[in-house]
Structure 1
Amino acid sequence: MSLAVYPLIFEPILKDRIWGGTKLETYLGKKNLPTPTTGESWELSAVEGDVSVVKDGVYKGKPITDILELYPEEVLGAKVHKQFGTQFPLLFKFLDADKELSIQVHPNDELARKRHNSFGKTEMWYVMQADEGSRIIVGFKEKSSQEQYLKHLADKDLIEILNEVEVKKGDVFFLETGTIHAIGAGIVVAEIQQTSDITYRIYDWDRVDAQGNSRELHVDQALDAMNYNTTDTQKHYTTIENKSNAMVNCPYFTTSYLPLNGSMGVSKDGSSFTVYICTEGEFSIEAGGEKYNFKKGDTVLVPAILKVFILSGTATLLEICIS
């Protein structure tokens, strides 16, 4: 039995977060938020316990992991299948930071494998919406050290040595593992990352939940995971219409900015799947005599076996593959 070939979208996995809000619904159109502090929509995930299921079509209700067990090369692509077997290697999310996230860091592959039997967590952010004056934390202002970092953490003035950046819609940040970071209040981001849910939380602004409990911190684990050097995280890119404009190219994923206006043919080589995240507008994918329609807030997986198709519409897309 062969794979039924069509672009796949998935039921969002919505997650309550102490810092979340309602923009996933008001800005991105996600329905039935479980709480007024819904901070994350996991759009495509193979993380154990949070596996995405297909939203419609032949595979409606099927977990992505089941489809990959049957058709790994057809979905993932020859190169990706060879590297990852039947494992989907990336995780796609939208985040609504109504309040600031904790200051945190993610381990690299080696450390994550040793401690958690997991991938590391290299990630990137595309800022979809930002209230005026919104800021993020990315790295240290100047080269630091474990001793200096711990002193500022103990004195509760860690923010003094961290690099704060004011952000606007369209800004892109690439965070290699070990980069200390936090998304500030008033920001919606699309996040692309390795398949991992390993986060070392360092400082959580001394806040508590409705029951008066503070969240767990991982100060000791973070010490040898952290890069104490300064990092150049912001990425600049061109915005040529109907073209894939390179944003981030790393061993884990390649992301391009694609402003679609009209229609364009796409031809792939079958080595990798492609994911399109629609951050503005509406678009369609035409393939095999069928037309599939998508809108802002949709995350679409195009199986690697679907090599030739047409994109049409007026939309801003992020195009992601593994190259």
Structure 2
Amino acid sequence: MLYPLKFKPILKEKIWGGNKLKCKYKGDLSQKQIGESWEISGVEGDISIVQNGALAGKTLNQLISEFKTELVGETVFEKFNGEFPILIKFIEAQENLSVQLHPSDTLAKKRHNSFGKTEMWYITEAESNAELIVGFKESITIDRYKDILAKGQLEDVLNKIKVEEGEVFFIKPGLVHAIGAGVTLAEIQQTSDVTYRLYDWLRVDKQGRSRELHTDLALDAIDFQVNSDYKIEYDSIFNSKVSLVDSPYFKTNFLEINQRITLDYSSVDSFVIYMNVGTQIAELTHDKNLFVLFPMETILLPACIKKIEFKSSGTKLLEISI
């Protein structure tokens, strides 16, 4: 009964969001400044709902409960006790996101009874001179950090880098970071919504209120050392998978397609997710059924499906599994 599954995007209003995602998904017209589209989510309160086929209307949790290992794979089901382990998003930043970081699994479990958050970004669009913040310019001590905050000088020590379409970044827990204005990206992360906000550019909401900062919580979660391993270098090879991330939390491959190819998952004990991060459609065929994956669209291949075909005249996919 299982087949490649599309889910209804969950659109999130953000103070820094824009209109691209809203226009793409024809969201609620009353919503403004859409910053995130949660493509596949097992986060409590934001559980994804199937959009296509005979299972339309069922939640992701209902599918896991009903199909278990057929949906997610035996190893994944046992390891995560029936919880869906990753959260898939598209993000559009019309303005800078807050400067933030995420706690480790250990800290998040202790404080929030949650997973920590390891994540990766694939840049789908970047305006001229668009930037990311990743870590500090130089290693600092916790005492110097406190002094910098007290003097309002955090911006001066942040490491800012210009970005372009197609670049990939791996964001570990503890790494201070922010997505800059003019960046649209695909994000793969652990199933967690725990974020510590350090700085929010002195902005306020419509009621004149500043957003909450998590200064004290963040102190023992921050990595104060300079990091240089956050950018993933890779070369695209048409119609062949290229590994981007191979971590304990998720595996992501890049696949650029300009013909018909067959993919075999006989040795993979996991669901597989595809995100179309290119500009052309991709046609997925399974059991003689055709599924069209449009740009900035996501589809989940259940673990019990072991062979599919993809066809495209030239698009780019992220292939994600556990």
TM-score, normalising length: structure 2: 0.96
The answer for the alignment partner of 2:305 in structure 1 is 306
What amino acid is aligned across from residue 292 of structure 1 in structure 2?
F
CA distance in 1, matches of 2:268, 2:165: 33
Q: Quick check: 1:270–1:305 contact (8 Å CA) kept in 2?
A: no
Determine helix, strand or coil for the equivalent of 2:259.
strand
Query: CA RMSD, aligned part only?
Result: 1.0
Q: CA deviation at 1:40?
A: 0.6
1:1-323 equivalence runs, <5 A: 4-26=1-23, 29-33=24-28, 34-231=30-227, 232-268=229-265, 269-280=267-278, 281-314=280-313, 315-322=315-322
What amino acid is aligned across from residue 16 of structure 2 in structure 1?
W
Q: Percent of pairs identical after alignment?
A: 44
CA distance in 2, matches of 1:161, 1:203: 13
Runs of 5+ consecutive residues of structure 2 not aligned to the other structure: none
Q: CA deviation at 1:70?
A: 1.2
Determine helix, strand or coil for the equivalent of 1:217.
coil
CA distance in 1, matches of 2:185, 2:43: 20
What amino acid is aligned across from residue 113 of structure 1 in structure 2?
K
Q: Quick check: 1:238–1:246 contact (8 Å CA) kept in 2?
A: no
Q: CA deviation at 1:140?
A: 1.2
CA distance in 1, matches of 2:50, 2:191: 18
Q: CA deviation at 1:256?
A: 1.0
Q: CA deviation at 1:270?
A: 4.1
- The count of corresponding residues between Structure 1 and Structure 2 is 317
CA distance in 1, matches of 2:91, 2:291: 26
Task: Write out per-residue CA displacement over residues 263-318 of structure 1, whole angstroms, 9 at most, x where no aligned residue.
Answer: 11111124011000001211111111211111101111000100111111132100
CA distance in 2, matches of 1:156, 1:185: 21
What amino acid is aligned across from residue 234 of structure 1 in structure 2?
K
Runs of 5+ consecutive residues of structure 1 not aligned to the other structure: none
Q: CA deviation at 1:141?
A: 1.3
What amino acid is aligned across from residue 308 of structure 2 in structure 1?
F
Q: CA deviation at 1:190?
A: 0.5
Moved segments of 4+, more than 4 Å: none
What amino acid is aligned across from residue 26 of structure 2 in structure 1?
K
CA distance in 1, matches of 2:268, 2:98: 39
TM-score, normalising length: structure 1: 0.96
